[in-house]
Amino acid sequence: ACGNSDTGGSAADDGKLTLGFSQVGAESGWRTANTISIKDSAAAAGIELKFDDAQQKQENQIKAIRNFIQQKVDVIAFSPVVESGWDTVLKEAKDAGIPVILTDRSVDSADKSLYKTFLGSDFVKEGRLSGEWLIANAKTTSGPVNIVELQGTTGSAPANDRKKGFAEAIAANPNLKIVASQSGDFTRAGGKQVMEQFLKANTKIDVLFAHNDDMGLGALEAITAAGKVPGKDITIITVDAVKDGMQALADGKFNFIAECSPLLGPQLMDLAKKVDAGQEVPARIETEETTFTQAQAKEALPNRKY
Ligand code: GYE
């Protein structure tokens, strides 16, 4: 369907399906693995991929989606950086007759007809599993347990949902208290900087819950610099289970990780083909994932692909 000949072939020319994909950015190890998965599986599926990196800005994603509409791609997929503010551009895609697939993160649009399906993790569950592990493992006999939280990108589905799931789980024990919670934007630099502030402002920090591995890895530097031992003086729980996170867990610097799989490419290509062919697809497809303790990380690490 793409008429621009100098981009090297279009659906109309060679029968190839053209997929426009707007990626959030390159903020984390998770994101890097996700981008590789999408590019590799597009090539393997014989799909022409138009890939755009939005550098964590919604306005860039909206621009990219409008470009895809103008280029008349066959299918648009994107991972929305934040949950709100998508209705107008999604309506434009719908009016142009281009099906949209949400991957990884969802939108809060009331009109579910604006997209065909949402492929991704259950972020509330990841937060809940993190909180449940803490409930089972926190030393609450000696009084209150002070928790600091590094949130992901403000307004993003994983930040909103992981915060919610974690808070709900730890409510089961009134000794567990979140004493500070702030965004580190899912980056190592953000995690380090905000953890430094937390350590300055709070004399007693028992637990860190970081919404992803990268922020936890950044926080390690701040914790060590403050003369504390990560994994011992401060219990560290994160989400993702990318290789560097798993290494920190196996090394005893992290204590628990709730997995979030970035390997969405093969399923996305399958869905793109189906919606392009006008086939019905499930409205929600959930990624399968697990959790890791230190012992489990040691075992899984040698075979970890990303
Ligand atoms: O957990 C984080 C990344 O949307 C699930 O985004 C994704 C999150 C992931 O930056 O590392």
Give the span between the Cα atoms of 228 and 220, in whole angstroms: 9
Is the pLDDT assigned to residue 10 strictly greater than 70? no
Does the C-beta of 240 come closer than 6 Å to ligand 1?
A: yes
Residue 31 CA, ligand 1 centroid: distance in Å: 6
Burial class (CB in 10 A: 0-12, 13-18, 19+), 256: buried
Tokens 């590789």 -> residue: 36
Establish whether residue 212 lines the binding site of ligand 1, counting it when its CB lies within 6 angstroms of any ligand atom.
Answer: yes
Report pLDDT for 146: 97
Report whether residue 162 contacts ligand 1, using a CB cutoff of 6 Å: no
What's the rounded Cα separation, in Å, for the pair 159 and 145?
Answer: 22
Find the 13 Cα to ligand 1 centroid distance in Å.
36
The confidence band for 2, taking pLDDT boundaries of 50, 70 and 90, is very low
28 lines ligand 1 (CB under 6 A): yes
**Is residue 105 lining ligand 1, measured as CB closer than 6 Å?**
yes
Instruction: State which ligand 1 atom lies nearest to the alpha carbon of 79.
Output: 4
User: Looking at the predicted structure, is the pLDDT value of residue 133 above 70?
Assistant: yes
% the chain with pLDDT above 70: 96
Average pLDDT, the chain: 95
Q: At 57, which helix (H) or strand (E)?
A: none
Using pLDDT thresholds of 50, 70 and 90, give the confidence band for residue 188.
very high
* Secondary structure class of 178 (helix, strand, coil): strand
pLDDT at 142: 75
- CB distance 31 to ligand 1 below 6 Å: yes
**Residue 135 is encoded by which pair of tokens?**
């409930």
Average pLDDT over residues 108-118: 97
Q: How far is the CA of 193 from the centre of ligand 1 (A)?
A: 19
pLDDT band at 139 (very low <50, low <70, confident <90, very high): confident
Name the β-bridge partners of 118.
Answer: 102, 284
Across the range 104-122, mean pLDDT stands at 97
Closest alpha carbon to 98 in 206, 2, 236, 241? 2
Mutating to test ligand 1, I would choose from 22, 212, 214 the residue with most ligand atoms within 8 A of its C-beta, which is 212
Return all residues near 283 (Cβ < 8 A) that are at least 6 apart.
112, 117, 118
Residue 13's pLDDT is what?
Answer: 54
Please give the distance, rounded to the nearest whole angstrom, from the Cα atom of residue 79 to the centre of ligand 1.
10
Query: Mean pLDDT throughout 195-223?
Result: 97
Q: What is the Cα–Cα distance from 72 to 52, expressed in whole angstroms?
A: 15
Which pLDDT score, from 0 to 100, does residue 8 have?
A: 41
Q: For residue 9, is pLDDT > 70? A: no
Confidence of residue 167 (pLDDT cuts 50, 70, 90): very high
Strand locations in 196-240 (E): 207-210, 235-240
Phi, psi of 262 (to 5 degrees): -90, -5
Which amino acid is residue 15, in one-letter code? G
Q: What's the average model confidence in pLDDT over 144-148? A: 96
Condensed to tens digits (0 to 9), the pLDDT of residues 239-262 reads 999 999 999 999 999 999 999 999
CA end-to-end span of the chain, whole Å? 34
pTM: 0.94
Higher model confidence: residue 141 or residue 164? 164
CA–CA dist 123, 159 (Å, integer): 8
Question: For position 6, what pLDDT does the model report?
Answer: 41
Does the pLDDT value for residue 5 go beyond 50?
no
Atom of ligand 1 nearest to the CA of 105: 4
Report the distance separating Cα 301 and Cα 293, nearest Å. Answer: 12
Confidence of residue 141 (pLDDT cuts 50, 70, 90): confident
Mean pLDDT of 208-214: 98
